[in-house]
Each structure stands twice: as structure tokens, then as C-alpha cells.
């Protein structure tokens, strides 16, 4: 068990450090965790200046039946954000995962556009004026898959073709003219062929959307990083971010965490390796002035999707986030703090 360091615990929170530089720091979580775990909720309120809906604004959470919308959990998160002066961020209007069980039986070629636009109008409209940003379309790119146009083979694509992306952004913009509308995706970070293909495909898509006047305002980089991935090249990433910024788009790091699956078990070495990945990545991306937000996918190792999705073979609990499972600040926290402290200032929006 690591010793608690009182100086570290008393240091200025991440959100305050980000704010000094005109940046946002936030974390994703659920209404359930906020409601059931008051110590965790207090840590979120302390460290963040933005709250991301991890699951509560996905179709499966919002759409118990084809006719109904259930905003209970989304509204609870929105209320928590408002009570603690956090901005709020929606995730996600269009995704091939987390669709309700009824979806397959009910949605068809004939009614898909109606379902898509009704959903976005209702949900984005419900939170209009309260949302910092929305992930309008999540994980649409699949350059090596079946799709002929670099897009992922999803129900939306099968029903509506590539147009579903334009439709989604136009509908979201009409429903909330003030939210920043984001195209969010993963595997954009490393100097490996898979990520290079993804970067190329997403740049092409963004160029086309911008050229057609589709209201996309930002790229979301999920940034689920891997501590055991040696192929990180700051120049390549910087170049990519510059090309996105040159299109007039903002960039958000939306789902940052560091997979520690293949690292040695010993806590101290593991934590330092994870922290090192945060440091190197954030030092690189924060050089780009278009990067306006750093959002981690969770705040504390107490709750991380990686426990289920990237378990360690030795059964040890993963430690991918800034706070440990007891909510104490880890080396990853210090790495993020120092990356904010060293980041160039942006104009406050």
C-alpha cells in the first residue's frame, strides 16, 4: 500500500490547472456512481470542470421502447454538473454499439432516417443550452473493414449510406445551435499502419464534411493509450493535429486512459509507466492550440471500463486513471497536472 502524500493531496486540482491555461479537464462517469458513491462524486466535483456522460446518454439508456425517451439518469448527471459548476458533455447520438434490444426488429430502411432525426432532435433538444459539446457520431471510420468508403459497416450506414453522418450533424446543429459538435473516434494515436490508415480516412472525411458545409466543429480523439505500445511518434501526431486544426476544427482528447494490461504487476513501476504515457502524450498534443479539452474515461481506478474490457492476465486490478481505487492521486495525476502546468495558454472561450 502506497503512503499517502499530504502535499500531493493538497495540490491544486486538475480542472483548476487546466482552467489557468484556457483548457478543460473532465472525466466520464454515470449517474449511478455519482448517486451511490459520495466520496467518488466529491472527487469528480473537485478535480473536473467538465462532466462526460459515460453511458447515460447512449441509445440503450435513453430508449426503453421505440416510442419512449427516459431522461432520468441523464438529467441526474446534468443536475450534478450544474450544482458543481461543471460543464456537461453528451455521448453519443450515433453509435453502432449500445443500441436498444428492440432496434433490430423495429428500425428499417424505410424508417431509419425518421428514427435518427427524431432521436437527435429530442435528445439534443432536451439538453439544448446546457451542453458544452456532443459526440454526434462515434466510431464511424473503418478503413480496413468491409465498407467501400472507409466507413464502418453499421446499421445506420446500411440503411442510409454515408449520408447518415451529414443528417446527424445537421439535425444536432438545428436542435442545439450552441453545442460544439464532435466527430469522435479511436486508434488515431500511434505510428503503426492501422492508426495511419485511420488518420488518413478521418482527415478525408473531415475535409469532405467541411467542404459540404456540414456543421462539424471538432474532432474527438478517444486516446485509449497502451503502456506497452512502443510506436509513438510525436512528429506524426503533431502533424495530424495540425492538419485537423487547418480545417478550422477544434480537437478534444475525449476518452483518455492508459491500458496497463502487459505491464509488470508491481504498483510503483506500473504507475510510473502509465504516468509516463500520459506525460509524453499530453506534452505532444497540448502543443497544438486547437486542442481545447483533456477528458479521461473515468477518474479513479475504482471504476474503469478496462477492468472488464482489458483485464490483466494476473488478475490484478488495472490502474489506468489519475486517481487510485482509494481516490488518492497517483503518478498519472501528477503527469496530467504537470502537462497542464507546462501547456501554452489558449484564449478563454
Task: Give catalytic residue positions.
Answer: 139, 255
Binding site for ligand XIL (CB under 6 A): 54-55, 138, 222, 255, 305
CA-wise closest residue to 120 among 182, 50, 51, 167: 167
Phi–psi pair at 274, nearest 5 degrees: -65, -45
Q: Which residue in the shown chain puts its C-beta closest to ligand XIL?
A: 305
CB of 301 to ligand XIL, least distance (A): 14
CA-wise closest residue to 74 among 88, 86, 84: 88
Q: Which is nearer to ligand XIL, 136 or 337 (CB)?
A: 136
CB of 341 to ligand XIL, least distance (A): 28
CB of 255 to ligand XIL, least distance (A): 6
Prior bond of 209 cis (ω within 30°): no
Residue 35's alpha-carbon distances to 29, 59, 117, 210, 322, in angstroms, are 11, 21, 31, 40, 21
What residue has cell string 427524431? 118
Q: Which is nearer to ligand XIL, 320 or 334 (CB)?
A: 320
Three-class SS of residue 124?
helix
> Residues with Cβ < 8 Å from 285, sequence gap 6 or more?
221, 237, 241, 251, 253, 291, 294
Q: Which is nearer to ligand XIL, 61 or 206 (CB)?
A: 61
**From CA 294, how far away is CA 253, in angstroms rounded?**
5
CB 264 within 8 A of CB 274: no
CB of 304 to ligand XIL, least distance (A): 8
CB of 138 to ligand XIL, least distance (A): 5
Q: Which is nearer to ligand XIL, 189 or 255 (CB)?
A: 255
Q: Which is nearer to ligand XIL, 96 or 170 (CB)?
A: 96
Amino acid at each position: 500500500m502506497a503512503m499517502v502524500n499530504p502535499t500531493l493531496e493538497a495540490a491544486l486540482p486538475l480542472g483548476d490547472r487546466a482552467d489557468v491555461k484556457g483548457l478543460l479537464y473532465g472525466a466520464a462517469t454515470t449517474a449511478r456512481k455519482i448517486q451511490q458513491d459520495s466520496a467518488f462524486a466529491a472527487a469528480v466535483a473537485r478535480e473536473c470542470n467538465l462532466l462526460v456522460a459515460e453511458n447515460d446518454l447512449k441509445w440503450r439508456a435513453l430508449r426503453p421502447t421505440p416510442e419512449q425517451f427516459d431522461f432520468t439518469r441523464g438529467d441526474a448527471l446534468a443536475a450534478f454538473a450544474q450544482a458543481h459548476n461543471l460543464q456537461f458533455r453528451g455521448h453519443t447520438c450515433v453509435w453502432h454499439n449500445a443500441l436498444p434490444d428492440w432496434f433490430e426488429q423495429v428500425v428499417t430502411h424505410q424508417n431509419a432516417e425518421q428514427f435518427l432525426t427524431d432521436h437527435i432532435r429530442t435528445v439534443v433538444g432536451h439538453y439544448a443550452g446546457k451542453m458544452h459539446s456532443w459526440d454526434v457520431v462515434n466510431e464511424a471510420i473503418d478503413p480496413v473493414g468491409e465498407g467501400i468508403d472507409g466507413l464502418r459497416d453499421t446499421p445506420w450506414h446500411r440503411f442510409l449510406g454515408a449520408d447518415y453522418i451529414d443528417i446527424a450533424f445537421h439535425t444536432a446543429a438545428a436542435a442545439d445551435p450552441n453545442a460544439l459538435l464532435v466527430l469522435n473516434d479511436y486508434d488515431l494515436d500511434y505510428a503503426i499502419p492501422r492508426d495511419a490508415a485511420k488518420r488518413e480516412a478521418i482527415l478525408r472525411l473531415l475535409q469532405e464534411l467541411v467542404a459540404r458545409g456540414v456543421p462539424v466543429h471538432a474532432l474527438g480523439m478517444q486516446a485509449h493509450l497502451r503502456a506497452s505500445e512502443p510506436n509513438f511518434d510525436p512528429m506524426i501526431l503533431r502533424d495530424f493535429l495540425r492538419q485537423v486544426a487547418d480545417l478550422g476544427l477544434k480537437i478534444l482528447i475525449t476518452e483518455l486512459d492508459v491500458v496497463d494490461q502487459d505491464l509488470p504487476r508491481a504498483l510503483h513501476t506500473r504507475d510510473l509507466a502509465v504516468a509516463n504515457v500520459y506525460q509524453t502524450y499530453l506534452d505532444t498534443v497540448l502543443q497544438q492550440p486547437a486542442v481545447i479539452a483533456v477528458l479521461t474515461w473515468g477518474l479513479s481506478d475504482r471504476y474503469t471500463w478496462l477492468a472488464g474490457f482489458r483485464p490483466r492476465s494476473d488478475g490484478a486490478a488495472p490502474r489506468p486513471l489519475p486517481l487510485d481505487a482509494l481516490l488518492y492521486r497517483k503518478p498519472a495525476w501528477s503527469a496530467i497536472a504537470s502537462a497542464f502546468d507546462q501547456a501554452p495558454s489558449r484564449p478563454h472561450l
